[in-house]
Amino acid sequence: MKWILLFSFLGTVLPWWTSPVQDNLTRVKLSDHISVSLPKDFMPMSEADIQRRHLSYRRPVAMYTEGSGQVDFGFNASHNDNWSVKDLPILQSFYESTIRSMYTDVEFLRRDQTEINGKPFVVFEFVSTVTEEGRAPIRKYTYIQYTIRKSYTLVFHFTCPAEQQTRWQPTAVAIMQSVKVEG
């Protein structure tokens, strides 16, 4: 009888105490055919922040950040008539090589292919280190996933300082699992 009461009590209290990450997420439309659920306190990044923090010849389609500006989610699409969904294994190899070349050190936590909401994706989860002489190393936790939609490579990425990985990793996983690509 004591056990039944204990489990009944835990069944009502535990869901409140361990509220899932998804409760803090809200659906955001990134384009006509693409949406994702992001934390409610994530806001679109200003144009100045995008230019300052994400140096690239191709401007991201969407960039979001949380209040401190240390945690970001981004989405980009690049036109490419050469890739199709059946080429994802080749794309995985290509992007893994690219990731390794961008950092001084990369510790992969995950690198595989999976299906998310009916769409195949290549997924990389890793902690990177950039070391420059005379500066402290910069370590980041990154969760990035790629897929092909028609003639576009779609890239979704989440980054935060490596020392905040434990706090943000469940959120990163929930965000990436929420990506919906129609068509």
Predicted confidence pLDDT, tens digits, the chain (183 residues): 444 433 344 444 444 333 446 578 999 999 999 999 999 999 999 888 888 876 666 788 999 999 888 999 999 999 888 888 898 999 999 999 999 999 999 999 999 999 999 999 999 999 999 999 999 999 999 999 999 998 899 999 999 999 999 999 999 999 999 999 997
What was the pLDDT predicted at 50? 83
Domain assignment present for residue 6? The answer is no
* pLDDT for residue 12: 40
Decide if 91 is inside a domain: yes
What CATH number does the domain containing 100 carry?
3.40.1000.10
Residue-level pLDDT at 101: 95
* pLDDT for 13: 40
> Is residue 3 situated within a structural domain?
no
Which tokens belong to 127? Answer: 């902690």
In the chain, the number of structural domains is: 1
Helix, strand, or coil (residue 82): coil
Q: Can you tell me the distance from the alpha carbon of 142 to that of 91, in angstroms, rounded to the nearest whole number?
A: 18
Q: Is the residue at 9 inside a domain?
A: no
Q: Give domain status of residue 14, yes or no.
A: no
Please state, in angstroms and rounded to a whole number, the distance separating the CA atoms of residues 44 and 157. 14
Task: Confirm whether 131 is domain-assigned.
Answer: yes
Residues 6 or more apart in contact with residue 119 via CB below 8 angstroms = 147, 149, 179, 181
Supply the pLDDT for residue 19: 40
**Residue 139's closest CA among 95, 96, 103?**
103
pLDDT at res. 183:
78
Residue 84 lies in a domain: yes
Q: What is the pTM of this model?
A: 0.84
pLDDT value of position 9: 41
Question: What residue numbers bound the domain in which 35 lies?
Answer: 21-181
Q: Note whether residue 5 is domain-resident.
A: no
